Amino acid sequence: MAERQASEIRTVACIGAGVIGAGWAAYFLSRGLRVRAWDPAPDAEQKLRRVVDAAWPALTELGLAEGADPAAITLHPTVAEAVAGADFVQESAPEDLGLKRSLLAELAAATGPDVVVASSTSGFPMSDMATEATDPARLVVGHPFNPPYLIPLVEVVGGTATAPWAVSRAAEFYRHIGKSVIEMDQELPGFIANRLQEAIWREALHMVAAGEATPEEIDRSITDGPGLRWPVHGPCLTFHLAGGEGGMAHMLDHFGPSLKAPWTRLDAPELTSELRDDMVAGAEVSAGGRPMAELVAERDRAVIAIRRAVQTARAAGRS
Amino acid sequence: MAERQASEIRTVACIGAGVIGAGWAAYFLSRGLRVRAWDPAPDAEQKLRRVVDAAWPALTELGLAEGADPAAITLHPTVAEAVAGADFVQESAPEDLGLKRSLLAELAAATGPDVVVASSTSGFPMSDMATEATDPARLVVGHPFNPPYLIPLVEVVGGTATAPWAVSRAAEFYRHIGKSVIEMDQELPGFIANRLQEAIWREALHMVAAGEATPEEIDRSITDGPGLRWPVHGPCLTFHLAGGEGGMAHMLDHFGPSLKAPWTRLDAPELTSELRDDMVAGAEVSAGGRPMAELVAERDRAVIAIRRAVQTARAAGRS
């Protein structure tokens, strides 16, 4: 069949309209696409429109595509109706393997032979999710980061039964709408970024469990420390700079042995009720009593400003 | 003896004037302090003044203290002369335990009974470094992050022989000059932030060693993904937000078991020559052929802009 170009994708179906699905919908709308949504929750439409409305000022500030319209979204009572006429499907159902399996099978069956169905899963390999689909060739992972309307990264990877063209096409579509895409050639549990986040998270839990640091200290050690460098230079480039003129080679040749130092704990800590309570209380301290909506608004304002700041700083070096 | 207040510290001795020591000197100068430096390198003075000159526009942009003068720095031929008349000492010698031991012993002997001597060590506990000092009570760790003139975090902790007043005084001094201080009550190898960085770094090395991701992909997965959130919300608060209205409690109660998922490798990978070469080549890809000075300038511009962006976004929520 003739494969459609990414630029020919005009209508996206958003299947599941929770925080991630609705965030995707807002982003697609901002790129001038039409969105057809489905979600089984009784108040889904209200919630969906609330997320889109809340995201729109941020998206406007970042720059809307021509013809972008926050109202170009419709909610449909069935999956089949939502995907009718859609050129691309983004599935963002809850992270439940059984649910993902049946939903992806239904989506593969309900869509045409040139429509890619991407899953927002944050950890399941597509080979595990595609087992019930009679035609799994068009099923790919398209893993976003919260909030999908502000964080550019999308990790794209297929399963063993996915056709290579479907992976390429999803990657091409996301790039076309302005995402930063990592196209992986193998299935890796947790993909890339979540493995790195998870490594930090486990060490943080260990320190709290051992009474060595509080969640507030852990958060501040990142926000006022290495976190200030990470939006501009990732961990490898940061290490490269730490080596001075000798860069990465100097660091590895001189500090390689200290990699083996027992700084990082080996296993995940036991999630005792005490650790659970310490983490919950600590998060409340970090939140400073502010309601979730205020924290979300703060994050969104900051992410926009940080993205701008990094872009400007990078551009200044090239001029 | 009468302890001097942090605001009474007017002159700081910077012992060791490499990247970290010279960065500290630039910061102290920007806070209106006088600096007396010592470094055994033949071209130390030239390098020191170059770092101060390079940092000054950034420091000016962030706001200088009254009377701040980039020329208020003198280089001295011996440690004893450098610390003469200093109210506080910041030691930033190379990360070599034997060297730190003898230097800290010399510094403790050469300074008065109310002068705190802080070490910039990025990993040695003070109890291991203070073994040769006859008077170790005033020796503390004051661990900065590169570049010390831009990243606010300083981790402060004493050794078993350190007097509690010396730890408090160092913390108070750093806070007084605008640093974000974490005052630790126990010695932890790698302190807090480096343990978290190290956890990420090991997982990155594993992925490269296994051919699962390139250094460039790892860097981009952070800069275009979670790294955009970390300057505003650390890992615990990020997790709290991911839980929606249920916050941290919801996440731990529902996703606790997945902590045990085998996402993060247990041991440090073997640093084979192949892995070393892959990391070096990858850093060069991430650097895009740009010289180190350009990367450093890019980082500095970005960190200033990011700090501003985060401050503005936080302040907007409080107004």
pLDDT tens, residue by residue, B239-258 = 888 777 788 888 888 776 66
Query: How many other C-beta atoms are found inside a 10 Å radius of the C-beta of residue A41?
Result: 12
A2-24 pLDDT tens trace:
456 778 999 999 999 998 999 99
Query: Containing H/E element for A262?
Result: none
Contacts of B23 in chain A (CB under 8 A): none
Q: What are phi and psi of B27, to 5 degrees?
A: -65, -45
Burial of B80 (0-12, 13-18, 19+ CB in 10 A): middle
pLDDT at B2: 44
pLDDT at A292: 78
* CA separation for the pair A275, B120 (Å, rounded): 32
Least confident interval from A77-86, A281-290, B261-270:
B261-270
pLDDT at A224: 94
Instruction: Output B3 or A318, whichever has higher pLDDT.
Output: A318
pLDDT at B241: 81
Q: What is the 3-state secondary structure (H, E, C) of A206-224?
A: HHHHCCCCCHHHHHHHHHC
B267-297 pLDDT tens trace:
777 778 888 888 788 888 878 888 877 888 8
* CA separation for the pair A45, A253 (Å, rounded): 57
Question: Quick check: A221 and B302 CB within 8 A?
Answer: no
Question: Quick check: A240 and B312 CB within 8 A?
Answer: no
B-contacting residues in A 63-122 (Cβ below 8 Å): none
A217 and B CB contact within 8 Å: yes
Overall average pLDDT of the A294-305 stretch: 84
If you search the block for the tokens 């990470």, which residue do you land on? A230
Q: What is the CATH number of domain A6-183?
A: 3.40.50.720
Measured over the CA atoms of residue A113, residue A30, residue B305 and residue B229, the dihedral's sign is negative
Q: Residue B158's Cα: distance from chain center in Å?
A: 16
Q: What would the DSSP string read from start to end of B246-285?
A: GHHHHHHHHHGGGGGSTTS-SSPPP--HHHHHHHHHHHHH
pLDDT at A2: 44
Mean pLDDT of chain B: 90
Residue A277 has pLDDT above 90, yes or no: no
Question: Quick check: B244 and A184 CB within 8 A?
Answer: no
A239 pLDDT tier (thresholds 50, 70, 90): confident
Q: Which residues contact B82 (CB under 8 A, 6 or more apart)?
A: B13, B14, B15, B36, B37, B38, B76
If you search the block for the tokens 């409690």, which residue do you land on? B249
pLDDT at B256: 66
Contacts of A252 in chain B (CB under 8 A): 271, 276, 279-280
Q: Where do the domains of chain B lie? A: 6-183, 193-288
Partners of A195 in beta bridges: none
Question: Quick check: B236 and A215 CB within 8 A?
Answer: yes
Q: How far is B20 from chain A (nearest CA, A)?
A: 10
Instruction: Output B154 or A307, whichever has higher pLDDT.
Output: B154
Least confident interval from A157-161, A285-289, B200-204, B255-259:
B255-259
Least confident interval from A71-80, B11-20, B112-121, B289-298:
B289-298
Q: Residue A248's Cα: distance from chain center in Å?
A: 29
Q: Strand order of the sheet with strand A153-158?
A: A73-75, A34-38, A11-15, A88-91, A116-119, A139-143, A153-158, A180-183
Q: How far is A112 from chain B (nearest CA, A)?
A: 32
Overall average pLDDT of the A93-114 stretch: 96
Question: Quick check: B205 and A259 CB within 8 A?
Answer: yes
B135-155 pLDDT tens trace:
999 999 999 998 999 999 999
A6-183 and A193-288 share one CATH topology?
Answer: no
Overall average pLDDT of the B16-26 stretch: 95
Question: Quick check: A202 and B264 CB within 8 A?
Answer: yes
Residue A139 has pLDDT above 70, yes or no: yes
User: Residue A276: which of B189, B190, B252 has the nearest Cβ?
Assistant: B252
Q: Which of B176, B185, B143, B133 is nearest to B4 (CA)?
A: B176
Asked whether B269 and B206 are in contact (CB, 8 A), the reply is yes
B315 and A CB contact within 8 Å: no
Chain A residue with minimal CA distance to B291?
A: A245
Q: Which of A298, A304, A312, A318 to mutate to test the interface with B (most CBs of B within 10 A)?
A: A298
* CA separation for the pair B42, B40 (Å, rounded): 6
Q: How far is B190 from chain A (nearest CA, A)?
A: 6
User: Rg of chain B over CA atoms, in angstroms?
Assistant: 21
If you search the block for the tokens 């493995």, which residue do you land on? A195
Exposure letters A103-122 (e unless 16+ CB within 10 A, then b): bbbbbbebbeeebbbbbbbb
What is the percent of chain B with per-residue pLDDT over 70, rounded to a whole number?
Answer: 96
Overall average pLDDT of the A163-181 stretch: 97
Q: Which amino acid is at B62?
A: L
* CA separation for the pair B38, B88 (Å, rounded): 14
Q: Which of A173, A254, A184 is nearest to B220 (CA)?
A: A184
Overall average pLDDT of the A276-301 stretch: 82
If you search the block for the tokens 């926000």, which residue do you land on? A223
* CA separation for the pair A96, A14 (Å, rounded): 17
* CA separation for the pair A62, A70 (Å, rounded): 15
Beta strands in B27-168 (DSSP E): 34-38, 73-75, 88-91, 116-119, 139-143, 153-158
Dihedral (Cα; B217, B220, B222, B223), 10-degree rounding: 170
User: Rg of chain A over CA atoms, in angstroms?
Assistant: 21
Residue B61 has pLDDT above 90, yes or no: no
Overall average pLDDT of the B212-240 stretch: 91
Instruction: Output B102 or B288, whichever has higher pLDDT.
Output: B102
pLDDT at A250: 83
If you search the block for the tokens 């012993």, which residue do you land on? B105
pLDDT at B1: 42
User: Residue B248: which of A249, A260, A283 has the nearest Cβ?
Assistant: A283
Asked whether B169 and B116 are in contact (CB, 8 A), the reply is yes
pLDDT at B239: 84
Count of CA atoms in the C-beta half-sphere (13 A) of B178 = 17
pLDDT at A319: 60
Report the CATH superfamily, name and number, of domain A193-288: N-(1-d-carboxylethyl)-l-norvaline Dehydrogenase; domain 2 (1.10.1040.10)
Query: How many CB contacts within 8 angstroms connect chain A with chain B?
Result: 388
Dihedral (Cα; B31, B35, B41, B46), 10-degree rounding: 70
Question: Quick check: B271 and A252 CB within 8 A?
Answer: yes
Overall average pLDDT of the B46-67 stretch: 92
pLDDT at A72: 98
